[in-house]
Amino acid sequence: MTILVTGGIGFIGSHACVSLLERNHSLVIADNLCNSKIEVLDRIKQISGKDVVFYQMDVTDEAALETVFSLHAIEGVIHFAGLKAVGESVERPVRYYFNNTVSTMRLIQACLKYKVRKFVFSSSATVYGENTVPFVENMPLLPTSNPYGETKKISERILEDTWRANPHLSVVCLRYFNPVGAHESGWIGEDPNGMPNNLMPYMAQVAKGKREYLRVFGNDYPTPDGTGIRDYIHVMDLAEGHVAALEGLEEGFHVYNLGTGKGVSVLELIHTFERVNAVSIPYRIVSRRPGDIAESYADASKAKRDLGWETKRGLEEMCRDAWRFERGNG
């Protein structure tokens, strides 16, 4: 199939592109490079040994999307493009609501016009709010306490309502948890512009000496060691989940969790990274971050049952691959 991948040069998108190319799909990538680097495009090609079509563009730009859809026989869309920092969304809500919801509306509108029936949406476990763990797809969604999570909930609702009005569509929302790690080649990984918002790349930069210490946001949560618990998933497992969803997609509106089903605390992750990579991670406890919750981990049994997908890589591999990428880049 010819697949349009928005945000395809970003952290998760680039790994998904590699997995899609390995499955012999043809790719058109759209990315505005606001939180990614153009060099990743060549690395995707080097890893896969295949070429792709690339557009530097913003997915909220209706005219730019019209150009892409009119020039290419798109058969499916995987929508990664979006702003994703919980803390920043609290500080800049209008930017997040505009970017994340308008891009979804523009894309599904183009799909309807050009009769593209397969649509895979990059959602987030954040939509569950402070539900009881493990999170299950059929739970009522609660307020998330941050605009980022709300933009994902709104986008899911937009897509579900669009499917109800157009039941020939095949739409899947993938609610994933905390992607970490890197491609085993060490050529692509999480390399944000500016200061990292996510734990693993910040930790890797501390290990490398680029930053003095890691900030741990809160040690007074109701968890065994007081730090937040998350479901960390290797980015290549996550990428393979997108391929499974795309290739197994049937008519209808579907929601799947992509996670390991295991919760790991911030301190556990730090100590695992130190142990497997023989490095030291100085850290300091600071106050909680706005919008964060105590625990988040998945019940991923539905994806295994319906898509035949489950994670293959463990926490040690996540830490090793992330460190291999950081050592070889920047």
* Residue labelled with tokens 């702003």: 83
User: What percentage of the chain carries pLDDT values higher than 90?
Assistant: 90
Q: How far apart are alpha carbons 281 and 116 in whole angstroms?
A: 47
pLDDT at 330 over 70: no
Question: CA-CA distances (angstroms) from residue 240 to 149, 196, 330?
Answer: 23, 24, 27
**Is residue 141's pLDDT more than 80?**
yes
CATH number 3.40.50.720 given to 2-182+232-259? yes
- Name the nearest CA neighbour of 197 among 323, 282, 87, 98: 87
User: Roughly what angle, to the nearest 10 degrees, separates helices 93-113 and 62-71?
Assistant: 30
| 3-state class (DSSP) for residue 264 | strand
> b/e string for 169-180 if b means 16 or more Cβ within 10 A?
bbbbbbbbbbbb
What is the distance in angstroms between the CA of the first residue and the CA of the last residue of the chain? 35
pLDDT tens digits, residue range 159-218? 999 999 999 999 999 999 999 999 999 999 998 877 888 899 999 999 999 999 999 999
Cβ count near 219 (within 10 Å): 17
Active site residues: 148
What confidence score (pLDDT) does residue 192 get? 81
Give the pLDDT of residue 144. Answer: 83
Q: What is the pTM of this model?
A: 0.95
Using pLDDT thresholds of 50, 70 and 90, give the confidence band for residue 138.
very high
Residue 23 predicted with pLDDT over 80: yes
- Please state which of the ranges 190-194, 250-254, 295-299 shows the lowest mean pLDDT: 190-194
Average pLDDT over residues 105-114: 98
Please tell me the predicted confidence (pLDDT) of residue 283.
97
